[in-house]
Chain A
Amino acid sequence: MNPTAFYALFRKDLKLFFSDKRAVLMSFAAPILIASFFGFLFSGSSKGDAAKVPAAAVDLDGSAVSKKLLAALAADKGLDLKAENLDAARERVRKGKATVAVVVPKGFGEDAARAFFRGGLKPEIGVLYDPSHTAELGMVKGLLTQHAMEVVSAEVFNGETGRVVRRDTLKELETTKDLPAGERVALKDLLGSLDRFQASQSTAKPGGTGGGGGMSMPFAMLESAVTSGDKIEYNGFAHAFAGMGVQFILFMGIEAGISILLLRQTGLWKRLRAAPLSRSTLLGSRAASAAAIALIILAVIFAFARLVFKVQVLGSFAGFAGVCLAFAFMTGAYGLLIAALGRTPEAARGLAIFVTLLMVMLGGAWIPAFVFPGWLQKATLLVPTRWAVDGLDAMTWRGLGFLDALPAILVLLGFAAVFGAVAVWKFRWQED
């Protein structure tokens, strides 16, 4: 190793990088811009103002029960509900203006109350949905179930419809043959005591029938995100800056590798090879300069994220620095790998960008890896970017300690070693 030559080559790479406006813009402005955008998208929900699901409601029944159901749905903060006629609702869903339309059928109030005790013919609530929003469909079905149970049960136990239905059911029980005698007696007792219970309620609370009572969800959900501290909220910007930083730094690594291929197109490669330089000086200086640039990019974009979006290293700072350093080394080695395996700069760049985007996607830089299906979460452990993004996440918003950064650091250094070894092994030192 020749330190004078190594340092001269290293400095030359930094100079060339920072004199290239396009490269600088790509490496600093692009990740900051895109990460800010993704950050806005993914951190909105933490402030409780998640977008409401646009929905339509069609009331073909017009009973007290259906009106109460629609009122309950309209009051739900997860829905932006609009009452409409059937055709208008169908049209809105078809055009994507509404995600779901709830159609309450004629006779719903009475049929639902009847079916509550005896099963039999259940009224069918129609749910028209936009097939591109099946996730929201599930949520709306849940809300619908909850509100329908509450409204219908309240009506059955307390409401006018309930009294009529109970009377009818009691009459029916006298004549019906399809219930075993024991059950018939039990059901009669239940309905009878309900009538008595309600009668006593209405004397105790004059004029009070329709209100209260009935069933409600047997629990409420108290949502609280689990992070490193009580006062700390999940910061979607932390993840977005880690992800985009990783992506654009790898792009920079690609260009570092391509720069070696470009040397071959001029006489520069020959000039460098004619000098008494070891191969480790030649390749090592380029990997080291790429790693240094990677560290500078990480420092700048996380400084920006801290100043503008309050992204902080809540965990171990040494762990954060370690992950950054290991990822920087991996980037340098990745560049050498491209230089070793690439033939022409153009072909190498196209393929390398594709592979990098794939790695970045699987690494959870765009969409966090924790939303991946289980098998994919396991499979992507083979992708270095996954470790980089998880490592940075762990040290920033998750606020974990140095020991939790260690696996990421070691794995990234391992990838760096493997990439570097393959690069040196496959590198074409002579034309042939």
Chain B
Amino acid sequence: MFQAQNLKKRFGAVQAVDGVSFAIQAGETVGLLGPNGAGKTTIVSMIAGLLTPDSGEIRLEGRAIASDTDPVKRAIGFVPQDLALFEKLGGRENLALFGALYGLKGAELDRAVDMALGLVGLADRQKDAVEAYSGGMKRRLNLAAALLHDPKLLILDEPTVGVDPQSRNAIFDNLEALKQRGLTLIYTTHYMEEAERLCDRLVIVDHGRVLKDGTLQSLYAELPAANLLEVEIEGDGAPLCEGLRCVAGVASAELRAGRLAVGVDNLAMGSAAVLAWLAARGVPVLHLASERATLEAVFLNLTGRSLRDA
């Protein structure tokens, strides 16, 4: 339903987007993942028609946005990264205004507002001024405001920034419900957990370019190890790393924050081998933990940098 071809956008000296292409099927949820300044907001702004690309092409259901008033824009619901609400107006008043921007009025508008308020669970606070809402409630209303005109493609630019875990869960429940209804979602984030929970497919961007585009499974498959063991030992672990890498079933071994980080493909066999190897050398193990390899690791593997401090 959507294609982007070789998008480029430059701001002064900064090449914010540098030849980005990807496509989305109807009903798919695609995560746009990248560190701060990767170009995520610039990409989705071009998709929503807020920015004109320097070059390249965007097609929605085969058509490009031709003008400010192009009806194609009605197919898009846009949730900006920064809150987009009139703080002095009530929750319902805000939604009624944003519905009216798409030409809704009367009973049709009322119905759309009721539905959106119900979805994000703010029906009982609809009369209060937005300035009296909590941060999480504002985020939920910010999401509801993009749904009034019943868009086909919902673009969410980091919709959970600055949100407590409870509200974040609520937003995820809302998004999953929308997914169930068959909405197509583009979701930008630099939180791996979010992308893992929600997205069918990931487009990983850095410095304005696509590093990787694929399903979660295909990305994990490229990792050297599917699981990570975290071993806390007594004494210095540094000299042990080289020996550990030669153990059968171990893909990688290094020291992270004073602990051994050992990558293994098979959790049961790999951990047994590592523990046996350490025991044979008389190294006391204080604590052992394991975790599945994450997108964090995928990103690290692709760029050699961690996502959060990239």
Chain A residues within 8 Å of B, Cβ to Cβ: 2, 4-5, 7-9, 12, 15-16, 19-20, 265-268, 270-279, 430-432
Chain B, residues 61-80, CB within 8 Å of chain A (1/0): the string is 00000001111011010101
Q: Hey, which chain A residues are within 8 Å of B69, CB to CB?
A: 2, 276-278
Selected from B51, B83, B104, the residue in CB contact (under 8 A) with A430 is B51
Binds A, one of B24-32, B95-103, B181-189, B237-245: B95-103
Stretch from B42-50, B198-206, B259-267, B290-298 contacting the other chain: B42-50
Given contacts A15-B89, A16-B89, A430-B50, 8 further A-B contacts (CB under 8 A): A4-B100, A4-B104, A5-B100, A5-B103, A267-B83, A270-B78, A273-B68, A275-B102
A103 to B145, CA, bound (A): 83
- Do residues B102 and A276 form an inter-chain contact, with CB atoms below 8 A? yes
Query: How far does the alpha carbon of A430 sit from the alpha carbon of B83 in the complex, in Å?
Result: 18
B277 sits at the interface (CB 8 A)? no
Choice from B50, B52, B100 contacting A274 with Cβ under 8 Å: B50
Most buried by B among A275, A278, A279, A430: A275
Cα of A276 to Cα of B86 in the assembled complex, Å: 19
Chain A residues lying within 8 Å of B68, measured Cβ to Cβ, are 273, 276-279
Instruction: Say which size band chain B's interface belongs to.
Output: 35 or more
Alpha-carbon gap, A4 to B99, bound state (A): 10
With A2-B103, A430-B51 known as contacts, the answer to whether A266 contacts B97 (CB < 8 A) is: no
Residues of B within 8 A of A274 (CB): 48-50, 73, 76, 78
Contact indicator A275/B86 (Cβ below 8 Å) = no
Are the CB atoms of B74 and A270 closer together than 8 Å? no
B100 partner residues in chain A, CB cutoff 8 A: 4-5, 7-8
State the CA gap A271–B149 with chains docked (Å). Answer: 13
A275 and B101: CB pair below 8 A?
yes
Q: Is B142 at the interface (CB under 8 A from chain A)?
A: yes
Within 8 Å by CB of B73, from A5, A7, A9, A275, lies: A275
Q: Is the CB of B48 within 8 A of A267?
A: no
Cα of A12 to Cα of B104 in the assembled complex, Å: 16
Q: B73, A16: Cβ atoms under 8 Å?
A: no
Measured CA separation A270–B80 after assembly (Å): 7
B71 touches A267 (CB 8 A): no
Q: How far is the CA of A4 from the CA of B100 in the complex (A)?
A: 6
Question: Could you say which residues of chain B place their CB within 8 Å of the CB of A277?
Answer: 68-69, 101
Query: With A4-B100, A9-B97 known to touch, is A431 a contact of B51 (CB < 8 Å)?
Result: yes
B84 CB contact (under 8 Å) in A271, A276, A278, A279: A271
CB atoms of B71 and A271 under 8 A apart? no
Contacts of A8 in B (CB 8 A): 96-97, 100-101
User: Within 8 Å of chain A (Cβ to Cβ): is B88?
Assistant: yes
Q: List 9 A-B contacts (CB under 8 A).
A: A7-B100, A9-B97, A19-B88, A266-B82, A266-B84, A273-B49, A277-B68, A278-B69, A279-B68
Q: Which residues of B contact A (CB under 8 A)?
A: 11, 45, 48-52, 68-71, 73-74, 76, 78, 80-86, 88-89, 93, 96-98, 100-105, 142, 145-146
Give Cα A5 to B97, complex, Å: 8
Q: Which residues of A contact B97 (CB under 8 A)?
A: 8-9, 12
CB-CB under 8 A from B89, the residues of chain A are: 12, 15-16
Measured CA separation A268–B49 after assembly (Å): 15
Residues on A with C-beta less than 8 A from B84 are 266-268, 270-271
In the bound complex, how far is the Cα of B82 from the Cα of A431, in angstroms?
A: 15
Docked pose: A431 CA to B80 CA in angstroms: 15
Give min CB distance, A196 to chain B, whole Å.
95
> A275–B49 Cα gap in the complex (Å)?
9
Closest A residue by C-beta to B49:
A274
Contacts known (A20-B88, A432-B11); A267 close to B81, Cβ less than 8 A: yes
Q: Which residues of B contact A275 (CB under 8 A)?
A: 73, 98, 101-102
CB distance from A56 to the nearest CB of B (A): 61
> 9 closest A-B pairs (Cβ-Cβ)?
A267-B80, A267-B84, A8-B100, A267-B82, A271-B84, A275-B101, A274-B78, A276-B73, A270-B80
Residue from the list A268, A270, A273, A279 in contact with B86, Cβ < 8 A: A268
Asked if A16 meets B78 with Cβ closer than 8 Å, knowing A274-B73, A275-B101, A430-B52, the reply is no
- Residues of B contacting A276 with CB < 8 Å? 68-71, 73-74, 102
> Quick check: B78 and A4 within 8 Å, CB to CB?
no
Query: How far is B100's CA from A12's CA once the two chains are assembled, in angstroms?
Result: 11
B96 cross-chain contacts in A, Cβ below 8 A: 8
Q: Which of A7, A16, A267, A274 has the most CB of B within 10 A?
A: A274
- Cβ of A16: which chain B residues have Cβ within 8 Å of it? 86, 88-89
Distance between Cα atoms of A2 and B146 in the complex (Å):
19
